[in-house]
Amino acid sequence: MPRVIVLGSGTPFPDTRRWGSSFLVQIGGEWLMFDCGPATTYKMYQAGFKATEVDHLFFTHHHSDHDADYPCFLLTRFDMSIGKENELKVYGPELTEQLTERIMGKDTGAYWHDIVARTNHPLSLYAYESRGGTPPRKPPKIHARDVTPGTVATGKHWEISSARVEHVQPYLDSLAYRIDSDEGSIVFSGDTRPCQALTELASGVDLLVMECIRLHDDMADPESAPGKYETSTIGAGQTAADASVKKMLLVHQNHNLDQPEQHTKAIREVGSRYSGTTIWADELMEVPWG
């Protein structure tokens, strides 16, 4: 059965309950990750998974609450490697290649010094061999690629396509992703306002992982910044209804929505537009789909 693990379900606001965005997806024995927000790597290990299990990482966009833990993930995956893992493939909108190079690029990357030390010093080589590695210890190979709407990647049991959604252009590009697989279909909206491209991408999917940042009243003014660039409870419900999705997982909630009265109102507002199954994301939860 396919699996979805919520690692990060919040916003840039640091909160003990939710913070940043990140999700693990298992299909056909392969692990994929979508976004890598604050503390993703730590929460991954809390949930019982290892960085070395992830071979594909997809970024929806490059706001820090979606990519701030990328250096930690890359360095942990390398440090825990024994040299037999698959090489990591990373996909995302423009800046994905640049960000990867600036973190891990040979000689110029911010953490290249760490790679040099861990591939040469006897202490690091001892740790590498003690985990089952065979010298020489080589630097990691990371295949990062800037992608555009269309087919992004394929695996043995899945294909991933993307659509451009509307968030903070022209400063950062934003993509939503759709997985079609032998085991079901899922769409990650990323951060976006309701838009036709997302509705079309999500048409008929088994699970829509959808931004739901505020109550409708907090975004009712269509000329306000939140009203123009984010998705409210009503917007999330309407998107799910228009796309005829089978199930929706609400994510990227403002921390205020975890207050009981606000939470109840949020669920009611979503339900006023969408009659399907709605799940309120909590971090480290597993979501059934497919």
Confirm if 66 and 37 have CB atoms less than 8 A apart: yes
Count of domains for the chain:
1
Mean confidence (pLDDT) of the chain: 96
Helix or strand (DSSP H, E) at 27: strand 21-27
CA-based diameter of the chain, in Å? 63
Query: Residue 223: which pLDDT band, with cuts at 50, 70 and 90?
Result: confident
- Given this model, what pLDDT does residue 288 score? 82
Instruction: Give the mean model confidence (pLDDT) for residues 223-227.
Output: 82
Is the confidence at residue 33, as pLDDT, over 70?
Answer: yes
Q: Give the list of residues 6+ apart from residue 29 with CB closer than 8 angstroms, or none.
A: none
Model pLDDT for residues 96-136, shown as the tens digit of each residue: 999 999 999 999 999 999 999 999 999 999 999 999 999 99
Query: Residue 287: which pLDDT band, with cuts at 50, 70 and 90?
Result: very high
Instruction: Give the mean model confidence (pLDDT) for residues 34-57.
Output: 98
Q: Which domain holds residue 101?
A: 3-287
Instruction: Give the mean model confidence (pLDDT) for residues 140-160.
Output: 97
Is the confidence at residue 162, as pLDDT, over 90?
Answer: yes
Query: Residue 227: which pLDDT band, with cuts at 50, 70 and 90?
Result: confident
Is the confidence at residue 88, as pLDDT, over 70?
Answer: yes
Instruction: Give the mean model confidence (pLDDT) for residues 16-42.
Output: 96
CATH code at position 45: 3.60.15.10
Query: Residue 262: which pLDDT band, with cuts at 50, 70 and 90?
Result: very high
- Given this model, what pLDDT does residue 224 score? 83
- Given this model, what pLDDT does residue 290 score? 60
The string of DSSP letters for 57-122 reads EE-S---HHHHTTHHHHHHHHHHT--S-SPPEEEEESTTHHHHHHHHH-TTTSTTHHHHHHHTT-H
